[in-house]
């Protein structure tokens, strides 16, 4: 739990410190890449470390991951330029990808199905906890200790997590390792993932053509390599596992819908409703709390009702949240937005924890690492692509609407400045403000409608989930 909290926390704690970091190091043009480098590296590393842990053991790979993460943290705190910070965030992300994957896999190894169903929700809840305390911790460190401590604080927690694993974790004996590492598969999957995410990252127009082409070609090559390899990175038998295949499909779509949509909720709250930046950021706290609560409850109810029923309830809750979010308008109240965020978080928390427990219960120990990492990989890639595609839709819709309102030649960037800056907003007349608010609200509604469509498409996967209760296929 400490390791998972560390990796999840670093994705949120840095956001609060970034203005201060940029003021100290410069490099505003690379602002977004401080976040993107971490996410790209973590996502690309997940499948590789999951498979390597199947071959060489969890403990060794976990310690390598947390050591890489802590080393990257130290270097980030010592960075003297924004370019150095981005490079060291890549190192940090590689460690985070290993820690997250192997930590969840260890849970599958050392707990029986009944125990895992009770405790998995606590591990999933670390994401929600990190998203709540991360921004607060970032603000405190920046105000009282300096921005490097946003990274240095990882050291004592990481050392404690390492000590617990070294002294207390007794890994079950491994069976004889079959085959060698599928290096061509790892290389093509990593290249394809990074290129694809770069193609969609932080763009207001169409995805970048060259990275998109490289990504598609590399992923196609990965499929060819895996079909021919005697010891593939992703075993063919795993692709035939119904829960894994359906769970990856649903995880990709749910990740795209959920993270893509919640990315734009603070923009609606601040730009359309006219609240402060603090209230806009706080609107996602109920989402995190709902995620934590539902992940714990759903995991505990899983053995009684089975994955199909729990997933149905989770997606129904998420669908209800998206129906409400589509109703957002210029007359929306802040309380209504908060309750909508709770529903979305509860739906997300229940589905993610259920699939993690279910997949780990239907594969052998030799495949548990790659199965766990595959589920997390699908969701992370889905979230990255979802944010990008929804961003493209939002900008296109906003520009089209601005062409039909009498507010002069106002671009999307100019709308953001006018509506998000308190002074600029206060200077607008009602005749100018209301059309801009309406254009922004309608554009964001298009994003939320797409999120609803994605959740409905994900719900189709319920039809292919097996009925009945789970059975544990432990072979350790």
Tens digit of each residue's pLDDT (9 = 90 or more) over 380-415: 888 878 877 888 888 788 878 776 554 555 555 566
Statement: residue 177 has pLDDT above 70: no
* Same structural domain, 24 and 92: yes
How far is Cα 327 from Cα 337, in angstroms, rounded to an integer?
A: 10
Rounded to two decimals, the pTM is 0.79
* Same structural domain, 165 and 188: no
How far is Cα 20 from Cα 3, in angstroms, rounded to an integer?
A: 27
Mean pLDDT over 298-315 rounds to: 86
Tell me which of 149, 170, 191 is where a domain ends.
Answer: 170
> Would residue 471 count as lying in a domain?
no
Neighbouring C-beta atoms of residue 75, cutoff 10 Å: 17
* Same structural domain, 220 and 306: no
* Same structural domain, 253 and 296: yes
* Same structural domain, 250 and 376: yes
Statement: residue 476 has pLDDT above 90: no
State the pLDDT confidence band at 16, using cuts at 50, 70 and 90.
low
State the pLDDT confidence band at 454, using cuts at 50, 70 and 90.
very high
Task: Kindly state the percentage of the chain with pLDDT values over 90.
Answer: 13
* Same structural domain, 127 and 216: no
* Same structural domain, 331 and 454: yes
Cα angle 396, 402, 408 (rounded to 5 degrees) comes to: 140
Burial class (CB in 10 A: 0-12, 13-18, 19+), 133: middle
Dihedral of the alpha carbons of 27, 211, 415, 401, in degrees to the nearest 10: 170
Statement: residue 456 has pLDDT above 90: yes
Task: Kindly state the percentage of the chain with pLDDT values over 70.
Answer: 88
Tell me which of 118, 136, 170 is where a domain ends.
Answer: 170
* Same structural domain, 75 and 198: no
Q: What does each C-alpha distance from 181 to 184, 225, 267 come to in angstroms?
A: 9, 13, 45
How far is Cα 315 from Cα 295, in angstroms, rounded to an integer?
A: 13
Q: How many Cα atoms occupy the beta-carbon half-sphere of 125 within 13 Å?
A: 15
The beta strand positions in 296-357, using DSSP E, are: none
Statement: residue 39 has pLDDT above 50: yes
> Would residue 160 count as lying in a domain?
yes
User: How many domains is the chain built from?
Assistant: 3
Average confidence score pLDDT of the chain: 81
* Same structural domain, 244 and 215: no
At 286 the pLDDT is 86
């Amino acid at each position: 739990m400490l390791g998972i909290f560390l990796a999840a926390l670093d994705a949120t704690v840095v956001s609060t410190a970034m203005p201060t970091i940029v003021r100290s190091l410069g490099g505003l043009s690379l602002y977004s890449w401080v976040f993107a480098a971490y996410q790209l590296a973590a996502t690309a590393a997940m499948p590789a470390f999951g498979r390597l842990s199947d071959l060489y053991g969890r403990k060794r790979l976990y310690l390598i991951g947390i050591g890489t993460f802590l080393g990257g943290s130290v270097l980030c705190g010592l960075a003297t330029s924004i370019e150095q910070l981005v490079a060291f965030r890549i190192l940090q992300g590689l460690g985070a990808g290993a820690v997250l994957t192997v930590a969840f896999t260890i849970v599958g190894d050392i707990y029986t199905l009944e125990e895992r169903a009770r405790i998995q929700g606590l591990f999933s809840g670390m994401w929600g906890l990190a998203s709540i305390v991360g921004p607060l911790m970032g603000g405190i460190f920046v105000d009282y200790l300096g921005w490097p401590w946003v990274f240095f604080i990882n050291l004592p927690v990481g050392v404690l997590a390492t000590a617990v694993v070294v002294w207390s974790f007794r890994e079950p004996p491994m069976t004889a390792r079959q085959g060698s590492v599928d290096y061509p598969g790892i290389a093509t999957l990593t290249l394809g993932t990074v290129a694809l995410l770069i193609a969609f990252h932080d763009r207001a127009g169409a995805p970048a053509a060259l990275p998109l082409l490289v990504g598609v070609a590399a992923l196609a090559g990965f499929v060819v390599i895996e079909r021919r390899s005697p010891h593939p990175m992703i075993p063919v038998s795993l692709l035939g596992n119904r829960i894994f295949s359906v769970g990856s499909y649903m995880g990709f779509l749910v990740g795209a819908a959920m993270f893509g949509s919640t990315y734009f909720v603070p923009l609606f709250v601040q730009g359309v409703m006219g609240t402060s930046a603090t209230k806009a950021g706080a609107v996602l706290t109920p989402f995190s709390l709902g995620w934590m609560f539902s992940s714990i409850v759903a995991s505990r109810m899983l053995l009684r009702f089975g994955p199909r029923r729990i997933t149905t309830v989770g997606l129904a809750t998420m669908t209800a949240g998206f129906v409400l979010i589509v109703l957002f308008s210029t007359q929306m109240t802040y309380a209504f937005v908060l309750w909508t965020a709770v529903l979305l978080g509860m739906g997300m928390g229940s589905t993610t924890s259920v699939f993690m427990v279910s997949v780990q219960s239907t594969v052998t120990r030799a495949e548990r690492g790659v199965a766990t990492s595959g589920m997390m990989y699908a969701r992370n890639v889905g979230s990255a692509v979802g944010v990008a595609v929804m961003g493209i839709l939002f900008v296109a819709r906003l520009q089209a609407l601005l062409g039909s309102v009498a507010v002069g030649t106002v671009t999307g960037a100019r709308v953001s400045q006018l509506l998000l800056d308190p002074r600029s907003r206060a200077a607008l007349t009602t005749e100018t403000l209301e059309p801009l608010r309406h254009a922004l609200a309608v554009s964001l509604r298009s994003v939320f409608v797409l999120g609803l469509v994605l959740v409905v498409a994900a719900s189709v996967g319920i039809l292919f989930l097996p009925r009945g209760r789970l059975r544990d296929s432990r072979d350790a």
